[in-house]
Amino acid sequence: MAKAKMFKINSVATFPNVFQNPHFTQPSLINSAGEEMDLKGVWNEKVFGNRHPLTLELACGKGDYTVALAAKYPERNFIGIDVKGARLFTGAKKALEANQKNVAFGRMRIENITNFFAPGEVDEIWITFPDPFPRKGDAKRRLTAPSFLQRYRQICTPQATIHFKTDDLPLFHYTRDMVVEAGLPLQYYREDIYAAPLEFEELGIQTYYEKSHLANGRKINYLKFSLP
Ligand SMILES: C[S@@+](CC[C@H](N)C(=O)[O-])C[C@H]1O[C@@H](n2cnc3c(N)ncnc32)[C@H](O)[C@@H]1O
């Protein structure tokens, strides 16, 4: 493994705002002191010390939405989730340097999300530029496949909103279809968001992957739905 990547993986384990699921087959989390923690249902109480609404950014990579939204909404809590520690390193370091008390990161597989969040614990989810898994045989791995929507439903409040941003039009259409087929209210749907002035500010937050897609001339699409 490259030295820089190894450094990030080792460093992120020492960050007080990062909680890792070291063995993906076991439902346990460890903190920066190496202590095992059960945070299911108590993230707000034990990590943030308040009862503010909780937003997750799934497949967060470097945590761009987590860090930007947390700065904009200090009265909310934010957790970026990704399986790759070297990517979480960037967001977690930024949050520590900015002394953001309303930010944490979880290194875990989204498949296992219900091991770590209790029913009704989550008020909002952002899913930003997930892997598209274009082959039909891989459809169940897409983060908006029915089995994933079911997991989100288990951990979210009935009022929760799910925001979804992607450059991949087939994945965008697939997600719209899965939402409609599941009978979930599609609250907003826009292909090529930058073709017209943005209707709300959060849409303009650009992730690492989004910037790269824009530089390559790709269009960005956004939809949101709820999980009543
Ligand atoms: C294309 S990158 C997008 C990263 C970031 N959202 C962005 O826009 O810059 C997809 C991310 O999803 C993460 N990922 C893919 N499958 C995952 C899973 N099952 N559980 C957790 N993270 C996953 C990868 O590690 C990667 O960081």
Domain covering 3-226 in this structure, CATH number: 3.40.50.150
Rg (C-alpha) for the chain, rounded Å, is: 17
CA distance 32 to 47: 12
CA distance 188 to 195: 16
Q: Is the CB of 208 under 6 A from ligand 1?
A: yes
| Cβ-based neighbours of 117, under 8 Å, separated by 6 or more | 40, 41, 43, 56, 155
Pocket mutation for ligand 1, best pick of 78, 116, 129, 214 (most atoms within 8 Å of C-beta):
129
Closest CA to 112 of 37, 23, 33: 23
Q: What is the pLDDT along the chain (228 residues), one digit of tens a residue?
A: 788 999 999 899 999 999 999 888 888 899 999 999 999 999 999 999 999 999 999 999 999 999 999 999 999 999 999 999 999 999 999 999 999 999 999 999 999 999 999 999 999 999 999 999 999 999 999 999 999 999 999 999 999 999 999 999 999 999 999 999 999 999 999 999 999 999 999 999 999 999 999 999 999 999 999 998
Query: What distance in angstroms lies between residue 211's CA and the mean position of ligand 1's atoms?
Result: 15
pLDDT of residue 131: 97
pLDDT of residue 207: 98
Structure tokens at 135: 């082959």
Q: Whose CA is nearest to atom 5 of ligand 1?
A: 61
Catalytic residue among 64, 82, 131, 192: 131
b/e map 187-217, b = 16+ CB within 10 Å: eeebeebeeeeeeeeebebbbbbbeebeeee
* 131 assigned to active site: yes
Q: Is the CB of 205 under 6 A from ligand 1?
A: no
Strands ordered across the beta sheet of 29-30:
36-37, 29-30, 18-20, 103-107, 77-82, 54-58, 122-128, 156-166, 221-226, 186-190
In the chain, domain spans = 3-226
Q: CB-based burial of residue 36 (10 Å sphere; 0-12 exposed, 13-18 middle, 19+ buried)?
A: exposed
pLDDT of residue 225: 98
6: left (phi over 0), alpha (psi -120 to 50) or beta: alpha
pLDDT of residue 37: 94
- φ, ψ (nearest 5 deg) of residue 98: -90, 5
